[in-house]
Structure 1
Amino acid sequence: QKKSTLRTIDGHVDPTLIRAHISSIEAKLQRGAAAFERNTSAALFSPSLTKRGGASGSDPLINDANSSWYGRIAVGTPLQTFTVEFDTGSSDFFLPGASCGTRCSGHKLYNPNRSSSAEALGKAFKMKYGDDSMVTGNLFTETVSLGGFKATAQTLGVASNTSGFSKDKSDGVMGMAFKLNSNFNADSVFETLVSQGAVPQPVFAFKLASSRSELYVGGVNSALYKGAFTYTPVTNKRFWQIAGDAIEIYGKGIVKGFSAVVDTGTTFVLGNSSYVSQLYATFNATEVEKGIYALPCNAMPNVSITLGGKSFPISAETFNVGPIDSSGKTCLGGIAGHDLQDLPSGQIQWIIGDVFMRNVYTVFDVGRYRVGFAELA
């Protein structure tokens, strides 16, 4: 789960908070990989992808300091509106329940007793995050509306007890990865929409930016990108895991041939600590916290990631996470190191998060098991 802020009260980025964020991402991927080992495969559809425009399927996103984006969904009968963080690095959907009380203060609470379409599954769930926050509760099936499309009998975790959750600005988290990655052993909301034939195409797409951010459901919004998509296939159908070609600094390939997860729920681009240290060794940077590096604010490097044979630059603006003190001279870099070791069923070396995704329009194709990237319009 991505926390709502990585900054101190005075607005400076905090390496300690960033380290906690990285730990939570590590725990999320470890938990998903363990779930993958328990679960069995699921069949999906594979229609072709075409451009779509207009408002149908569009879910505008709220940008919270370039570290979180969240949007609106509706749940229940009658439908109630909630805000959630859309997380392509996990698969499960949960909301705070009516019995959560003050532990979920500041959030809209979901009450299954007030919905005629809610059905209890008689199963409990428990999820612990890397920052020691925890969510426990019970599983239900429910009607869920996403981008104007309705899924029925969707598995939903209703939290009755949480810790460390009140800081988040969204009410809950909606995972958008695959069933094989689910701790509930259930289809994600989008997989349910696809299996029920509720969406025109088995794809969804993100624009994460300072303005006009959007999740588009059931197609792509042609007004938000230009040119053709560059696709790379999913290599392991648990996360949105792909193979990357290279990570370049000033056009020189420092890292070549790597495995990565494309994750809207991660603020940074995260890499194995040894690779990250090699990247920062090529210019003037200082490690200020384990795997976290600072450099002069006016000297952000020229960084790009090559995927599917095409090089996509990371702008200096998005690479610069922000100043670490009031002088405004030293800033944190947008690539940081993680401590993930070999995960079950394959190693994940890199996590491509929002620092990169803010530079591209990204489409997730469930039907053809691929991820596509295009230039922003």
Structure 2
Amino acid sequence: MHLPIALVLAALPLLAMTVPVTENSDLTPHPGFSIPIAKRSNLYLADGSVNTTKLQGMTTRPVDKVRRGLDAYKRNTGATHPLAHNVKMSIKRATGNVSLTDFEADLWYGEIMVGTPLKPFTVDFDTGSSDLFLPGSNCDSSCAGHTAYNPRSSSTSRDLHETFSLAYADGSTVDGEQYTDTVSIDGLTATKQTLGSATEYSTGFEDSQFPPDGLLGMAFQSISVYGAPPVFQTLIDQGKVTQQEFGFYFAEDGSELYLGGTNTALYSGSFTYVPVFFQGYWMTYFDSFTVNGVEVLSFTTAIIDTGTTQIIGDSSSVQLIYDQIDGAEAAPEYGDGIYTIPCTFDTPIELTFNDVTFSVSPSTFNLGPVAQGSSTCVGGLGADDDLYGLWIVGDVFLQNVYTVFDVANSQVGFANLA
């Protein structure tokens, strides 16, 4: 399904040519701030095989997150986001043993400081949402093992006397109270930042399942459940960053979030930029999805989401792609929209953005064997029946590129890794 032509034409002035970004391309230095991030995966067992119970809901969780943002957009703006036509807005009933335990299979998290005096917390950095929440000091036993945020211990904390509730498809929620306080990331300090202090964490946020203390959203204000500026937007508004962009680099070792620019040591060549068609999500498009040299999809709407493990698309398109992969099969026994592939998988897969093609490594597309010693593995592309021509591009692709999220120019850029 293509974007409406009026929306495409409106975005055409934003389309950028491929822009050189060598280290010496700008004589004026733009200092940025590097935040180390670590990966924690709940997707694997100790023997290296995929924990198939965690696959339950892997594709539906990101879609539920999109629904929540679309609801928030309508509350915040009074208008319907264009993506509402691409997503079935009714919430699915939970099926089987699906709980918030599989909130995210892979998490990329790092440290922030909150309050006065500053106190350290770890958070999952998520470009698919826009709010910051932490476990509160009055949270019940569900928050055990996490560092608690105590607004009474911070001289800069202010109670907004507003509650919040983040709901999921299985009926689980994260509930709490909204405050403003000081939030600092590697010395970049946002004052009067809205955040949530949770009074209840569902089982998926227990320490054994969700190692960070909380979550920090990095999408746009219009999908904020609080209706408030996200942390990076506050840093921009308060003049704390020189460049209004941040970059993500995902790797087994040395992963980082870079605020206020990009880390030139981690990518090579040029950035290829694609416009954000409609703010809320980092919503853009890819030109084509190619399998073994065959173009299966053309011009497709996509959300770029660091908080999603797989690439997720509508069921019919995903089926067309797996039809091009020898030995691929639907595997509903492992979860809705899950497919398996041979563990010897080496089929070339490519996504093209603004006429520039990027490869998806077989090692990132292959999520691992369904059991120890099995020759059957889980594919990194999932399907959801509630998507209509909308895709969510997660870590299976993002681990292959350096990604910059450019707030000032409302665009996303990709570069090859160094």
- TM-score scaled by structure 2? 0.80
Local SS of the residue matching 1:237 = coil
Match of 2:344 among 286, 298, 302: 298
Residue 380 of structure 2 is aligned to residue 349 of structure 1: no
Q: Distance in 1 between matches of 2:299 and 2:63?
A: 21
Residue 259 of structure 2 is aligned to residue 213 of structure 1: no
| AA in 2 matched with 1:143 | T
State the 1:339 CA deviation: 2.8
CA contact (8 A) 1:26 1:339 kept: no
- Corresponding residue number in structure 1 for 2:198: 159
Q: Residues 13 and 100 of structure 1: is their aligned pair in 2 closer, same or farther, counting only changes over 3 Å?
A: same
- Corresponding residue number in structure 2 for 1:53: none
Match of 1:99 among 115, 121, 138: 138
Q: Distance in 2 between matches of 1:267 and 1:223?
A: 25
Identity %: 45
RMSD in angstroms over aligned alpha carbons? 1.8
Deviates more, 1:289-298 or 1:167-176: 289-298
State the 1:3 CA deviation: 8.9
Residue 288 of structure 2 is aligned to residue 288 of structure 1: no
CA contact (8 A) 1:90 1:175 kept: yes
| AA in 1 matched with 2:358 | F
Q: Deviations over 1:205-224 (max 9, x none)?
A: 00011111000001101011
Aligned 1:230-245 pairs, distance under 5 A: 230-245=272-287
Local SS of the residue matching 2:57 = helix
Q: Residues 131 and 323 of structure 1: is their aligned pair in 2 closer, same or farther, counting only changes over 3 Å?
A: farther
- Corresponding residue number in structure 1 for 2:112: 73
Q: Distance in 1 between matches of 2:255 and 2:170?
A: 28
Q: Deviations over 1:126-166 (max 9, x none)?
A: 11123543200000001001232100000000001121210
Q: How many residues align?
A: 348
The runs of 4+ residues in structure 1 deviating greater than 6 Å are none
Q: Which runs of no fewer than 5 residues in structure 2 stay unpaired?
A: 1-38, 79-103
CA contact (8 A) 1:75 1:81 kept: yes
Residue 411 of structure 2 is aligned to residue 370 of structure 1: yes
Q: Deviations over 1:198-249 (max 9, x none)?
A: 1111100000111110000011010111011000000110100001100000
CA contact (8 A) 2:59 2:337 kept: no
Q: Distance in 1 between matches of 2:269 and 2:179?
A: 43
CA contact (8 A) 1:15 1:292 kept: no
CA contact (8 A) 2:128 2:282 kept: yes
- TM-score scaled by structure 1? 0.89
- Corresponding residue number in structure 1 for 2:154: 115
State the 1:279 CA deviation: 0.4
Q: Which runs of no fewer than 5 residues in structure 1 stay unpaired?
A: 42-64, 343-347
Residue 54 of structure 2 is aligned to residue 17 of structure 1: yes
Q: Distance in 1 between matches of 2:341 and 2:156?
A: 53
- Corresponding residue number in structure 2 for 1:204: 246
| AA in 2 matched with 1:33 | L
Q: Deviations over 1:245-293 (max 9, x none)?
A: 0000012110111000000000000011111011001122111123111
- Corresponding residue number in structure 2 for 1:30: 67
| AA in 1 matched with 2:400 | N
State the 1:38 CA deviation: 1.6
Local SS of the residue matching 1:169 = coil
| AA in 2 matched with 1:88 | T
Q: Deviations over 1:61-119 (max 9, x none)?
A: xxxx9822111110000100111000000001100001114211111111000000100
- Corresponding residue number in structure 2 for 1:345: none
